[in-house]
A and B are shown apart, each in its own frame.
Chain A
Amino acid sequence: MANQVILESANVGHGTIDHHGHDGHDHHEQHFISKYIFSQDHKIIAKQFLITGIIWAIIGALFSVFFRLQLGFPDHTFPIMETFLGDWAKGGKLSPEFYYALVTMHGTILIFFVLTAGLTGTFANFLIPLQLGARDMASPFMNMLSYWFFFLASIIMFSSLFIQTGPASGGWTAYPPLSAIREASLGSGLGMDLWLIAMALFVVSSLLGGLNYISTILNMRTKGMSMTRMPLTIWALFFTAVIGVLSFPVLLSGFVLLIFDRNFGTSFYLSEIFIGGKALPHIGGSAILYQHLFWFLGHPEVYIIMLPGMGIASEMLSNHSRKPIFGYTAMIISLIGITFLSFLVWAHHMFVTGMSPFLGSIFVLMTLLIAVPSSVKTFNWLTTIWRGNLRFTVPMVFALGFVSMFISGGLTGIFLGNSALDIHLHDTYFVIAHFHMVMGVSSFLGMFAGIYHWFPKMFGRFMNNTLGYIHFFLTFVGAYVIFWPMHYEGIAGMPRRYYDYSAWESFKQFDGLNAFISIAVIVVFFAQLLFVFNFFISIFRGRKVNELNPWGSTTLEWTTPIVPGHGNWEGEIPEVHRWPYDYKDDGNGKDFIPQTVPARPGEEVH
Chain B
Amino acid sequence: MSGFLTITLIALVFIIIYQIAKASEYAAILRGKEKVERQTNRTIAWLMVAVFVFGVWGIWECHEYMMPKMLPVSASDHGVKYDDMLKVTLILTGIVFFITQTLLFWFTFRYQASEKRTSYYFPHNNKLELLWTTVPAITMAVLVAIGLRAWSSMTAPAPENSQVVEIVGKQFNWIIRYPGKDKVLGKRDFRNINDANNVLGLDWNDKANHDDIIAENGEMHLIVNKPVKLIIGSRDVIHDVGLAHFRMKMDAVPGIVTTMWFTPTITTAEMKKITGNPNFVYEISCDQMCGKGHYSMRGTVIVETEIQHKAWLMMQKSYYASMNAPVDAATQGTDTTSKATTSKAITMN
Contacts and interface: CB of A to CB of B under 8 A. Distances in A.
Q: A and B from one assembly?
A: yes
A28 interface: no
A400 B104 contact: yes
B122 A324 contact: yes
Given A175-B238, A387-B122, A378 B100 contact: yes
Nearest to B90: A415
B339 interface: no
Given A184-B291, A354-B253, A390-B112, A529 B283 contact: no
Given A96-B293, A326-B124, A275 B171 contact: yes
B104 A288 contact: no
A371 B253 contact: no
A585 to B, nearest CB: 7
B85 to A, nearest CB: 6
B190 A477 contact: no
A587 to B, nearest CB: 13
Interface stretch (B142-150, B306-314, B316-324, B328-336): B142-150
Given A583-B121, A591-B119, A488 B97 contact: no
Nearest to A462: B25
Contacts of B221: none
A412 interface: yes
B347 interface: no
B286 A495 contact: yes
Given A423-B247, A534-B18, A375 B132 contact: yes
Nearest to A171: B289
Contact of A428 (B154, B236, B251, B287): B287
Of the candidates B58, B69, B155, B256, the one having the most CB atoms from chain A within 10 angstroms of its own CB is: B155
Interface residues of B, number: 121
Interface stretch (B44-52, B158-166, B178-186, B209-217): B44-52
A32 interface: no
A588 interface: no
Given A407-B104, A411-B96, A288 B289 contact: no
Contact of A529 (B10, B123, B132, B238): B10
Interface in B193-232: 193, 195, 201, 232
B123 A324 contact: yes
Contact of A178 (B45, B133, B289): B289
A537 interface: yes
Of the candidates B107, B232, B258, B280, the one having the most CB atoms from chain A within 10 angstroms of its own CB is: B107
Contacts of A96: 292-293, 295
Contacts of A492: 66, 69-71, 244
Of the candidates A100, A274, A469, the one having the most CB atoms from chain B within 10 angstroms of its own CB is: A274
B251 to A, nearest CB: 5
Interface residues of A, number: 132
Nearest to B242: A495
A494 B255 CA distance: 27
A408 to B, nearest CB: 7
Given A178-B291, A328-B124, A424-B249, A404 B236 contact: no
Contacts of B2: 79-80
Given A272-B190, A380-B129, A473 B47 contact: yes
A68 to B, nearest CB: 15
Contact of B254 (A84, A272, A505): A272
A495 B298 CA distance: 12
Contact of A407 (B100, B119, B150, B238): B100
Interface stretch (A156-164, A279-287, A443-451, A569-577): A279-287
A506 B244 contact: yes
A433 to B, nearest CB: 12
Interface string A426-441: 1110000000000000
Given A324-B121, A426-B249, A543-B25, A480 B111 contact: no
Nearest to A80: B3
B6 A80 contact: yes
A197 interface: no
Given A271-B255, A501-B295, A385 B143 contact: no
B113 interface: yes
Contact of A476 (B51, B81, B151): B51
Given A272-B254, A400-B104, A421-B86, A505 B280 contact: yes
Contacts of B97: 407-408, 411
A427 B240 contact: yes
Contacts of A504: 283, 285, 298
Contact of A360 (B107, B125, B155): B155
Contacts of B58: 480-481, 484
Interface in A473-509: 473, 476-477, 480-481, 484-485, 488, 491-493, 495, 497-501, 503-507, 509
A221 to B, nearest CB: 21
B281 interface: yes
Interface in B282-305: 283, 285-296, 298
Contacts of B118: 322, 389, 585, 591
Nearest to A291: B238
B274 interface: no
Given A467-B17, A533-B14, A272 B107 contact: no
Interface in B1-42: 2-3, 6, 10, 14, 17-18, 20-22, 24-25, 37, 40-41
Interface stretch (A52-60, A210-218, A361-369): A361-369
B140 interface: yes
Nearest to A396: B44
B250 interface: yes
Contacts of B236: 177, 181, 184, 273-275
B136 interface: yes
B114 interface: yes
A26 to B, nearest CB: 37
A510 interface: yes
A484 B56 CA distance: 12
Contact of A498 (B119, B147, B294): B294
Contacts of B108: 385, 390, 400
B21 A466 contact: yes
A465 B41 CA distance: 12
A584 interface: yes
Contact of B41 (A388, A392, A480): A392
A428 B3 CA distance: 35
Contacts of A135: none
B325 interface: no
Query: Closest 7 interchain pairs by CB?
Result: A493-B244, A271-B255, A354-B258, A357-B155, A420-B150, A466-B21, A392-B44
7 contacts: A100-B294, A185-B292, A279-B191, A368-B140, A372-B133, A488-B66, A509-B69
Given A389-B111, A418-B85, A583-B119, 18 more contacts: A177-B237, A272-B254, A272-B255, A353-B253, A357-B152, A364-B144, A387-B120, A392-B112, A414-B93, A414-B140, A414-B143, A420-B154, A423-B82, A464-B18, A485-B66, A497-B295, A513-B66, A591-B119
Interface of B: 2-3, 6, 10, 14, 17-18, 20-22, 24-25, 37, 40-41, 44-45, 47-48, 51, 54-55, 58-59, 62, 65-66, 69-71, 79, 81-82, 85-86, 89, 93, 96-97, 100-101, 103-105, 107-108, 111-114, 117-125, 128-129, 132-133, 136-137, 140, 143-144, 146-148, 150-152, 154-155, 170-171, 190-191, 193, 195, 201, 232, 235-238, 240, 242, 244-245, 247-251, 253-256, 258-259, 277, 279-281, 283, 285-296, 298
Interface of A: 79-80, 83-84, 96-97, 100, 169-171, 175, 177-178, 181, 184-186, 270-275, 277, 279, 283-288, 321-330, 352-354, 357, 360-361, 364-365, 368-369, 371-372, 375-376, 378-380, 382-383, 385-392, 397, 400, 403-404, 407-408, 411-412, 414-415, 418-421, 423-424, 426-428, 464-467, 469-470, 473, 476-477, 480-481, 484-485, 488, 491-493, 495, 497-501, 503-507, 509-510, 513, 526, 529-530, 533-534, 537, 541, 543, 581, 583-585, 591, 606
